[in-house]
Structure 1
Amino acid sequence: MIGGLTITEDDLSADDVRALVALHLSGMHAESPACKVHALPLEKLRQPGVTFFAARMHGALAAIGAIKHLDDTHGELKSMRAAPEWRGKGVGEAVLRHLLAVAQARGYTRVSLETGRTEAFAPAVALYRKYGFEECAAFAEYVVDDFSQCLSLAL
């Protein structure tokens, strides 16, 4: 854990959290074909089965992330994003480790995600691969193609 960083379940009501979710959505729309934007807006991040977390460094929002319950053995990572001023400083990795711990505590045997294949997604893909995520077949409503890839980690 990064000293001073706290990661807690969040209700998405704070202005800074809402702004970072909006930044994440706009970034996904800028970097992805319209039919390939699977980032969740606020109302879907609040749905049952989705647990949202905010990472704060001494009160300042550093990153966000969520985990979606797919079934009793499978969770999906959603909305992983570091605030611009925190990119490259390890907060995204801290959120990933937290989400993986949540998945293990829930008894999941697998965690998966969908992401892009383009250069814009390379830092995130490198982080996921560092933790052992591997390409997998499409899951949920996703389609694997020349833009989208699915990654999964056995827990």
Structure 2
Amino acid sequence: MKRPAVFFDRDGVLIEDSGYVFEVSKLRWIDGAREAVKAANDAGCFAFVVTNQSGVARGLYEESHVEELHKVMIDDLAKIGAHVDAFEYCPYHPEAPIERYRRVSPRRKPAPGMINDLLERFPVDVSRSILIGDKPTDMEAARAAGIKGYLFVGPNLEHFLRAVLE
């Protein structure tokens, strides 16, 4: 049975974007972010995170740091009975100083690759799915994947999402 999905960008939507967030100690949730994920869960939607992580390609941190931060986010969400069905991230950048990460990737937003990969793996009702992002590149990725994009500018993600879902 197909279900709608809410695709969340990470930095600037779920967590504060203080520039290449990778240290668990610097994780700060946006107001209402955890509650927004729970609202998506309670509405019967898949909750996905799609995030560019060019800091890996720039040598600022490792993929293991991204994965560790996502585990902490999962644990924080579980404390309020919320969950993310899948995290997708793109560590690539076309001008990366680290050669193995230097490429144009179909998964790097504004390309829709991360979204499309999730659409292939999960029974998503595309016509009822949305992406919430904080940048024009997020909106371009949503459009390219055939889902509606909503630009979040704050202050409270739960209020924003509930208004969109109504």
Considering the TM-score relative to the shorter chain, is it more than 0.5?
no
Q: Indicate the TM-score class for this superposition, using the shorter chain for normalisation.
A: 0.3 to 0.5
More helix by percentage = 2
If asked which structure has higher relative contact order (CA below 8 Å, sep 6+), I would say 2
More strand by percentage = 1
TM-score, length basis structure 2: 0.34
